[in-house]
């Protein structure tokens, strides 16, 4: 064989050196592939952990059914939220209260004006006037923030507080 290399003009030492380099490169590639295979096996074992022979098709089918169920529930929730928004718009969810002394001889601010409004600023003002002997309760209708009956200063203040409250439905818009 050395005759063959001599006839071609290649030194046998160079051939041996090239073969050693090739063996080293192949050894490095083998170690690299072995490490990659180990990582892939670890991922596979992690993926298949706890499956005990259950087919992936059944697993995926179950997950897709669960996703479909959750999607339907999400649609129902959005519809219900819409119904609640409409309902909340008609509830008395804005209020203002002013406590005051109606008479000079009665202290403790037992009298009060309470304004209760919905999102359209429609509702009522309840005014409780306490004296030494009696308590008088008056109610006045409010339509879109206005009263057709003259309001006292305390009632006006309570109405302003209620009208200026943040809209509850604005918070639901973010949901």
Higher pLDDT: 8 or 144? It is: 144
Q: So what's the pLDDT on residue 14?
A: 85
Report the distance separating Cα 159 and Cα 170, nearest Å: 20
Round to whole Å and give the CA distance between 121 and 138.
Answer: 19
DSSP letter at 167 equals P
Residue for token pair 């949901």:
175
pLDDT value of residue 131: 84
Whole-structure pTM value: 0.53
Does 38 have pLDDT greater than 70? yes
pLDDT of residue 52: 62
CA dist., res. 175 & res. 166, Å (int): 16
pLDDT at res. 2: 61
Residue 6 pLDDT > 60, yes or no?
yes
Helices (H) and strands (E) in the chain, counts: 5, 4
What is the percent of the chain with per-residue pLDDT over 70, rounded to a whole number?
Answer: 90
Residue 124: per-residue pLDDT: 95
- The pLDDT assigned to 45 comes to 80
User: Is residue 126 scored above 60 in pLDDT?
Assistant: yes
Structure tokens at 95: 């209020």
- Sequence ranges of the domains in the chain: 2-45, 50-88, 91-165
- Cβ burial of 145 (10 Å; 0-12, 13-18, 19+) is middle
Instruction: Tell me the three state secondary structure of residue 28.
Output: helix
Name the band, by pLDDT with cuts 50, 70 and 90, for residue 117. very high
């Amino acid at each position: 064989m050395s005759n063959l290399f001599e006839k071609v003009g290649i030194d046998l030492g160079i051939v041996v050196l090239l073969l050693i380099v090739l063996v080293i490169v192949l050894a490095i590639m083998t170690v690299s592939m072995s490490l990659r295979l180990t990582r892939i096996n670890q991922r596979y074992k992690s993926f298949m952990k706890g499956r005990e022979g259950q087919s992936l098709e059944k697993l995926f089918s179950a997950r897709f059914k669960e996703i479909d169920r959750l999607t339907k529930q999400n649609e129902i929730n959005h519809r219900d939220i819409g119904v609640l928004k409409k309902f909340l718009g008609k509830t008395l969810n804005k209020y203002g209260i002013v406590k005051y002394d109606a008479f000079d001889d009665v202290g403790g601010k037992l009298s009060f004006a309470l304004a209760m409004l919905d999102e359209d600023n429609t509702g009522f003002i309840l005014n409780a006037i306490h004296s030494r002997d009696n308590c008088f309760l008056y109610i006045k209708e409010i339509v879109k923030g206005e009263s057709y009956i003259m309001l006292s200063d305390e009632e006006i203040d309570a109405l302003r507080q209620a009208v200026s409250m943040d809209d509850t439905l604005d918070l639901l818009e973010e949901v």
